[in-house]
Structure 1
Amino acid sequence: MEYMVGVDIGTTSTKAVLFDDKNVVVASANKSYALYRDLPDMAEEDLNELFEALISALAEVVRDADLSKGNKIAAVSFSSAMHSLIAFDEEWKPLTRAITWADTRAVEYTEELKANGLGEQIYKNTGTPIHPMAPLSKLLWLKSEHADIYHKAAHYLGIKEYLFHRLFGSNKMDISIASGTGLFNIFNLDWDEQALEVTGVKKEQLPLPVEPYEYEDNMLEKYAALIGIPATTPFVYGAGDGPLSNLGVNAVKPGVAAITIGTSGAIRVVSDQPVIDPKGRTFTYALDKDNWVVGGPVNNGGDVFRWARDNMFDAEKSTAALLGKDSYDLLTEIAERIPAGSEGLIFHPYLGGERAPIWDANARGSFFGLNHGHTRAHMLRAVLEGITFNVFMVSLALEEVVGGLKSIQATGGFARSPLWRQMFADIFEQPVTVPEAFESGALAAVIVAQKALGKIDSLYEIEKYVGASNTYMPDPKNFEAYRELAPIFIRLSRQLQTEYQNIANYQRKHSK
């Protein structure tokens, strides 16, 4: 049997998935690591923990492949979280941990970049909205607040590039990950001169941009032995997790949107060329040089649902455990008892700042419209509706940029909830399809590897492997409530934005 491994490098875990030659999942291994939040707005990962998780996950699925029986690992390919930054000195000694997309310490320098007008032009060149998530802003923060590290840094990589460097001694970055740095010109496919000038970083300090189909096949023997594979096994660079999420659910044709809600979330469509939003609300990231993913990411997805569970429904959480029932299933049953629109209760889900569509790291969450008739169950349903309204608001911006949406492919933890799927169908007034594609990100990475090795000619081959699906149709009886509330939600988000910085500054001043 000739196997392939798709690796999905996430914010708090790395998963390796073993596929057979029919692209059927044979085995998987998931290894977790900490997200360090030692200081306000910090979100970092330990490099050794990242590397050990990769080695351990790969070794586990390779054992399942049982290479002693003549089986073979034809390739390993990667999907990776985007927007991370790691600084190294001249000898490649790390000067920082991995500063992840969730780290917002660069907010002050991001606002300066927006105010002086440079941010707008850099966005038009790079397709990455000006936000603290981007390495562009992180570099400005390092330069101002950690000048010792900034001046000592000779090299900058992201988390996937670090793993490749450690395994192979390479210094490359696929154009998909590069397109999310805010430093990469998506029109000439090279590092952007204006972004480099603003940050003071030289092109030589950044990795060589390569296609997602590039691969390495000369691993250091000591690591090949730990994994249990030949050192010549091809490791394909792959792409960013957002673009590969679209590919993984076959949302690659015009007008087909992919919505993913995990810890965070996003809505994306694929275009055959980079598309820039004149208002700066959407991103454009590469899947490869011929396929561009246009969309908007949201910080606040399933983590907000978890916050509601842990802080408002502790007793129900304990009850679910005693009954051997999933706590989220119990909570959705409670939310289902409340009518669409939560009887006029609106929730803005900005517990962790927000990216699209408002791009404001200072944004904070709020309930609006509370009265004596509202209960915890109303608040719970409003939380789910608020997350959905926010993604809907992103979709309106997206439609301005790329045209109308025809259908929605749904993935992520929310896609397991019938209530939430129906809620998306009703608020968007679009059919929502949930493909039965298991491990879609890892599958997409494997499809990239198959194209890299010449086993397939087109990424569209993935359509054969996504599997059956369930489609949720919009329910007209809920339209009236959502059509009335959606504009209020949108207007409120704009009005409250004038005070977000003030309340965020107060919280930082008084945080323990």
Structure 2
Amino acid sequence: MSTYMIGTDLGTTSTKSVLYDQTGRVIANANVGYPLYHDQPDMAEEDPEEIWQAVQKTIHQVSQAVNADDIVGIAFSAAMHSVILLDEHRQPLTRVITWADNRAAAVASDLQASPLGNQLYQATGTPIHPMSPLVKLHWFANAHPGTFAAARYVVGIKEYIIERLTGQLQMDYSMANATGLFNLHKFKWEPAALAFAHLTASQLPTLVDTNAVIRGLQPTVANSLGLKATTNVVMGASDGALSNLGVGADEPGVAAITIGTSGAVRVMTTKPYLDPNGRLFCYYVAKDRWIVGGPINNGGQVFRWVRDQLFPAESEAAKQQGQDPYDQLTALAAAVPAGAHGLLFHPYLSGERAPLWNANARGSMLGVTPTTTRADMARAVLEGISMNLNAVVQLTKKAEPIHAIRATGGFARSPFWCQLLTDILGQPLTIPVSFESSCLAAAVMGFEALDIVPNLNVIHTMIGTTNTYQPQAANQDRYRQLQATFDHVTAALTPLYAEIAGLARTDR
């Protein structure tokens, strides 16, 4: 008899649930989106009730595919760095403040410049940046003291959803590690971080491992989901940690690259690694497994900007003809030679995390001439996103030599972009055909936690078909030269980003 696990990923713009059997075969999947609210400059929030509704809808939809008696559990993946303040009844006092919220930029800048900033990074492995709950909470306590004083609990979106499902307020080590409040050496909340965030440990969830199991759902919730009340909930881990597992990048030397709305580079290590300059994250995955790397703000959302701002008419025409506008844009970019006729694009439209950790960073297009075309710009943008990722790859290699690279995310649907990234990296790039790597890894972690599979390594038998791209020598040589110039320009502009960002703020 088959047993089934639901892998649910709480993403920034949608929740996905996928039902798997114990061999990793997809039985059913569902996806429900929700908006990201930008009510004021630098805000990026979500409505926790909208996410809760999305979780219920997706789980209910996939649970109908098999007999509920055979579904043994739900295991979770989630975006990192979110913050929700709850009252004494565990009701939200705020919306979900997401990783993309930049209102704590001034706090992050001041903390980065102080000795305390490096002390906290070395203790927690979370770079100092406005994405971090550590920094968000310090800002919130000063910006909204009344609401902050009313908060009995502080959680992230995964902890909030699991509490709604089970009544238990727990946080796994992986998600905790990304808060900037967790000491990765001692596996407990860091006192100096709590003091900076104006919190006590009693306001935070109970810490548990990523394979921890909560036995059973609240009966009324189970009924609405179409599941038995005895269905297990497995904590799971962060989306970044699980994405590595889900593409088979689960051993030292195998890196994973993700490009979706944002992006990331991660490599698995067997022990923590901390960058002397605080430029890489280090987060727990499971026993003797850690991920080291860096996230970028500016992935596919930059290409969406190209679609909407540079090619609006063509994009609309493509939609009316039932075509994907992105396919049209990549075809235009593919007609331009490597290097985009000398055009160099820095993709920092939304500030940047790795490798700069500078919320004031701004985008730039250099090398524009009277002969520059929009097609040149389209290619330069894809090259700029990819060269920025390559800068993070080179930094990550200091933690762990990288001999293989696997990639996933929306970009992987474009063979042209995959080849372009391969040429810039100068290493073969392997793309699994299945895109929901975090859901799969969460499910496998769930099966392992319930002793249905022997260990996490079985995921290698479940990943399925892969495509591998080889670097093209001619383009590789060209990109090696361009990467050096890209890095030089980044270094030259970095001291000016605060001044440039200030110009835009004075116009608001």
**Offset at 1:410?**
1.0
**C-alpha distance in 1, partners of 2:134/2:464?**
39
Q: Do structure 1's residue 31 and structure 2's residue 32 form an aligned pair? A: yes
The 10-residue stretch of structure 1 (376-385 or 202-211) with the greater mean CA deviation from structure 2: 202-211
**C-alpha distance in 1, partners of 2:345/2:132?**
27
Query: 1:248·1:437 contact (CA, 8 Å) conserved in 2?
Result: no
Corresponding pairs, count:
507
State the partner residue of 2:367.
Answer: 369
Q: Do structure 1's residue 429 and structure 2's residue 423 form an aligned pair? A: no
Secondary structure of 2:496 counterpart: helix
CA displacement 1:400-450 (0-9 Å, x = unmatched): 222x21111010011111111111111111000111234211110011001
Where do 1:256-267 residues align within 5 Å? 256-267=254-265
The 10-residue stretch of structure 1 (309-318 or 353-362) with the greater mean CA deviation from structure 2: 309-318
**Offset at 1:479?**
2.2
**C-alpha distance in 2, partners of 1:75/1:183?**
29
Secondary structure of 2:65 counterpart: helix
State the partner residue of 2:440.
Answer: 443
**Offset at 1:323?**
3.0
Secondary structure of 2:171 counterpart: strand
Secondary structure of 2:28 counterpart: strand
Secondary structure of 1:65 counterpart: coil
Secondary structure of 1:444 counterpart: helix
**C-alpha distance in 2, partners of 1:312/1:147?**
43
State the partner residue of 2:299.
Answer: 301
State the partner residue of 1:276.
Answer: 274
State the partner residue of 2:249.
Answer: 251
**C-alpha distance in 1, partners of 2:86/2:31?**
28
State the partner residue of 1:496.
Answer: 493
Secondary structure of 1:280 counterpart: coil
Query: 1:217·1:231 contact (CA, 8 Å) conserved in 2?
Result: no
CA displacement 1:483-506 (0-9 Å, x = unmatched): 111111111112111121122222
How does the TM-score come out when normalised to structure 1? 0.97
Equivalent residue in structure 2 for 1:240, among 235, 238, 241: 238
Query: 1:433·1:469 contact (CA, 8 Å) conserved in 2?
Result: yes
**Offset at 1:226?**
0.5
**C-alpha distance in 1, partners of 2:410/2:502?**
33
Q: Do structure 1's residue 2 and structure 2's residue 18 form an aligned pair? A: no
**C-alpha distance in 2, partners of 1:486/1:108?**
30
**What runs of 5+ residues in structure 1 fail to find an aligned partner?**
none
**C-alpha distance in 2, partners of 1:11/1:456?**
30
Query: 1:257·1:408 contact (CA, 8 Å) conserved in 2?
Result: yes
Q: Do structure 1's residue 474 and structure 2's residue 471 form an aligned pair? A: yes
State the partner residue of 1:197.
Answer: 195
CA displacement 1:353-377 (0-9 Å, x = unmatched): 1000000111111101111121000
**Offset at 1:268?**
0.5
Aligned-residue RMSD, C-alpha? 1.2
Where do 1:395-474 residues align within 5 Å? 395-402=393-400, 404-474=401-471
Equivalent residue in structure 2 for 1:119, among 117, 120, 134: 117
**C-alpha distance in 2, partners of 1:480/1:28?**
42
CA displacement 1:137-192 (0-9 Å, x = unmatched): 01111111111122221210000100111222211100000010000011111111
CA displacement 1:186-224 (0-9 Å, x = unmatched): 111111111112222111111111111112123221111
**Offset at 1:66?**
4.3
Question: Which amino acid counterpart does residue 291 of structure 1 have in structure 2?
Answer: R
State the partner residue of 1:154.
Answer: 152
The 10-residue stretch of structure 1 (495-504 or 229-238) with the greater mean CA deviation from structure 2: 495-504
**C-alpha distance in 1, partners of 2:146/2:507?**
29
Secondary structure of 1:361 counterpart: coil
Query: 2:405·2:428 contact (CA, 8 Å) conserved in 1?
Result: yes
Equivalent residue in structure 2 for 1:185, among 179, 183, 190: 183
Question: Which amino acid counterpart does residue 422 of structure 2 have in structure 1?
Answer: A
**What runs of 5+ residues in structure 2 fail to find an aligned partner?**
none
Question: Which amino acid counterpart does residue 270 of structure 1 have in structure 2?
Answer: M
State the partner residue of 1:390.
Answer: 388
Query: 1:173·1:210 contact (CA, 8 Å) conserved in 2?
Result: yes
**C-alpha distance in 1, partners of 2:77/2:473?**
38
Equivalent residue in structure 2 for 1:214, among 179, 203, 212: 212
